[in-house]
Amino acid sequence: MPEVVDQVALARLYGEPLFALPNDLYIPPDALEVFLEAFEGPLDLLLYLIRKQNFNILDIPMAGVTRQYLAYVDEIRSRNLELAAEYLLMAAMLIEIKSRMLLPPKKTADGEEAEDPRAELVRRLLEYEQAKMQAAAINALSTYGRDFWKAQVYIEQSLKPRFPDVSLDDLRQAWADILKRAKLVQHHKISREELSVREHMSIVLRQLQGRRFVEFESLFDATRGVPVLVVTFIALLELGKETLVEITQAEAFAPIYVRLAYAPS
């Protein structure tokens, strides 16, 4: 260990500080190139040099910073001019600022002192540093696909079959078929019969009692004549209107079924 204990170590080897480079140390030619590629641009490198040495960003020592900056750029300029091009532009700006600081300050037309040559560079560095900190804060947030994944569970559920609705055309066609069969039965007895819609509503409900499905056609007795069929049909329509029965059909052109719309207690 050296006698000067407050000297800044160049590196650490197996946890031990290294204050001088070994004589047999081999540095690859592209080592510094990789180092420069780690920066996001000239402002990033300049900000690194300032923060590394705890310089006041509002009072940048242009001579020291420019010298260190040029040392980095000179090492790579001879090997990768394309990578060093944007860094050379910043180096020219630093040299210009340094030159303007060496000249006597000029006063403006209003008699006030001119703006500090470093002011524009300081503003750019502060804006860049703020944007970089915000980007780092956003990057630290949990990201879907990187830090967590959404839990996905597939549950097989039995779907309740939904029967197609019965259209008016289906009811009209079914009713026409019933009338057609009723006309085949001829009666010559003339009598007057008083028919009650409410009574036939009760008859239909009794026919549906205790049965899951009843065919639409089986609710009509063609032997009793057309008047009874008409009253029975009106009674069935009234029951459907009062939601006491449900009229369903398994598929298009399939038989029509009627069932109770409520479960008896």
**pLDDT single digits (tens) 139-158:** 888 877 777 787 777 666 55
Of 148 and 1, the structure prediction assigns the larger pLDDT to 148
Cα 106 from Cα 143, distance rounded (Å) = 53
11 bridge partner residues: 18
Cα 255 from Cα 176, distance rounded (Å) = 14
Single-letter amino acid, residue 120: E
CB of 261 closer than 8 Å to CB of 246: yes
CB of 216 closer than 8 Å to CB of 247: yes
Instruction: Tell the residue number behind the tokens 């690194």, with chain if given.
Output: 48
Cα 122 from Cα 40, distance rounded (Å) = 18
Of 83 and 49, the structure prediction assigns the larger pLDDT to 49
Q: 97-101 long-range CB contacts below 8 Å, 24 or more apart?
A: 97/62, 97/121, 98/62, 98/63, 98/66, 101/62
| Residue among 242, 232, 247 nearest 197 (CA) | 232
- The whole-number average pLDDT for the span 73-91 is 71
Quickly state the pLDDT bin for 188 (edges 50, 70, 90). Answer: low
Of 22 and 232, the structure prediction assigns the larger pLDDT to 232
Cα 71 from Cα 50, distance rounded (Å) = 15
Cα 130 from Cα 122, distance rounded (Å) = 12
Per mean pLDDT, which of 9-13, 56-60, 72-76, 153-157 is the most reliable? Answer: 56-60
Could you tell me which residues come within 8 angstroms of residue 249 by beta carbon, excluding any fewer than 6 positions away? 163, 164, 165, 166, 170, 255, 256, 257
| Burial tier of 216 (Cβ tally within 10 Å: 0-12, 13-18, 19+) | buried
Range with the poorest average pLDDT among 93-107, 166-180, 247-261? 93-107
Residue 220's SS3 state is coil
107 bridge partner residues: 113
CB of 30 closer than 8 Å to CB of 79: yes
Quickly state the pLDDT bin for 26 (edges 50, 70, 90). Answer: low
Is the pTM here over 0.85, yes or no? no
Q: What is the pLDDT of residue 3?
A: 45
Phi, then psi, of 224 in degrees rounded to 5: -90, 0
Q: What is the pLDDT of residue 79?
A: 64
SS3 of the chain: helix, strand, coil, percent, to 5: 50, 10, 45
pLDDT 10s digits, 169-179: 888 888 888 88
pLDDT 10s digits, 199-214: 888 888 888 888 888 8
CB of 179 closer than 8 Å to CB of 136: no
Instruction: Tell the residue number behind the tokens 């524009």, with chain if given.
Output: 120
Of 169 and 39, the structure prediction assigns the larger pLDDT to 169
Residue 150's SS3 state is coil
Q: What angle do CA 159, 165, 168 make, to 5 degrees?
A: 175
Of 189 and 227, the structure prediction assigns the larger pLDDT to 227
Q: What is the pLDDT of residue 7?
A: 55
Q: What is the pLDDT of residue 4?
A: 43
Per mean pLDDT, which of 33-47, 227-241, 248-262 is the most reliable? Answer: 227-241
13 bridge partner residues: 16
